[in-house]
Amino acid sequence: MVDEFTQTLLGIMVAVIMLGMGASLTPRDFYLALRRPYGLFIGVVSQYGIMPFLGFLLALFLVVPETIALGILLMACMPGGTTSNIFTYFSKGNLALSVLMTVTSTVSGVVLIPLILTIYAAALDIEIPREDIVKVLFVLLVPVAIGMSVRRLNANVGATIEFFGSILGVLFIVFIAVTWIPQNWQFLLNTTSATYTAAIGLGLVGITIGYFFAKSLRLHPRNARTVALETGIQNGPLAIAIIVFTFPPEQQQAIMAVPALYSLFIVIVSTCVTFVFRRANTAAEQKMPDSLL
């Protein structure tokens, strides 16, 4: 359960994160994306094909309460987060592709997230407030549009907003660690290992599948690393915001368990993966021809 002050602060933080995401994009990026629809296809398949199905399998086969299963499914259906852009940069991946995949999955998520959630929730016999989720997603797209407008009017201001939005995306993890976890410590102690398995496995398995999916498409290694990180690193702040502003207080604690734990563990998982990817960044690889895809 989240108190009123934390809920307000959470809303502000998510709005700034989405503002920074919008400020990272220009009309030219859309133009380049439309010229290379293959990249958009890969982004949509990885975010809304691979991850929701993985979440469905985890919710189906792990022995967890219905509310925990809903949290797993919700987290798996989220678009990419700004954190993936940061880890893509440090992994020497394709940052332009990472940003495009993040924003594309966020914008298309207004339609795809409620649709996919409805399909998989029905398969698990779980009810979801679809209309409320759509409303929250629409509201959170407003900062993205504002960020894009600011970037178009003033590139320097837009770049500054993008930077602070990315930093706040990382600080959000700290925010969860110092607020939600202490308030729900006893609940986490009593939570079964299946919940932790889902929270860690969602990111780790997602990155692994995303990488081999990209390799099967014969993408350049830089792009393969990018697709892997974009697949496994979901927008935790957005998932938590949807839960806080959509579900009743008595259900929030359990539904938020996996998104909150995922947001913490994905930083550890992604850091380890980044070290592996950087070691694979050989001199020979740098001589290979590169492009957006």
* 284: pLDDT strictly greater than 60: no
- DSSP string computed for 122-185: HHTT----HHHHHHHHHHHHHHHHHHHHHHHH-HHHHHHHHHHHHHHHHHHHHHHHHTHHHHTH
92 DSSP assignment? T
Ranges of H-type helices in the chain: 4-23, 27-35, 37-45, 51-61, 66-76, 82-90, 95-123, 130-153, 155-178, 180-183, 185-190, 193-216, 221-232, 236-246, 249-255, 257-279, 283-286
Q: What is the pLDDT of residues 159-214, one digit of tens each?
A: 788 777 777 777 777 777 777 788 888 888 888 899 999 999 999 999 999 999 98
Of the two residues 290 and 121, the one the predictor is more confident about is 121
Proportion of the chain above pLDDT 70, given as a percent: 89
Q: Range with the lowest mean pLDDT among 26-30, 58-62, 277-281, 284-288?
A: 284-288
* 52: pLDDT strictly greater than 90: yes
CA distance 180 to 119: 30
Of the two residues 255 and 41, the one the predictor is more confident about is 255
Q: Range with the lowest mean pLDDT among 23-27, 151-155, 191-195, 251-255?
A: 23-27
**Confidence at residue 69, expressed as pLDDT on a 0 to 100 scale:** 94
Domain ranges of the chain: 4-274
Return the axis-axis angle of helices 82-90 and 257-279, rounded to nearest 10°: 20
Within 10 angstroms of residue 52's Cβ, the number of other Cβ atoms is: 22
Q: What is the pLDDT of residues 225-247, one digit of tens each?
A: 989 999 999 988 888 888 888 88
Across the chain, mean pLDDT equals: 83
108 residue type, one letter: S
> Taking a C-beta distance cutoff of 8 angstroms, is the pair 41, 225 a contact?
no
* 127: pLDDT strictly greater than 80: yes
Q: Is the pTM of this model over 0.75?
A: yes
Q: Which positions ≥6 away from 263 have C-beta within 8 Å?
A: 172, 173, 176, 236, 237, 240
Query: What topology does CATH give the domain 4-274?
Result: Na+/H+ antiporter like fold (1.20.1530)
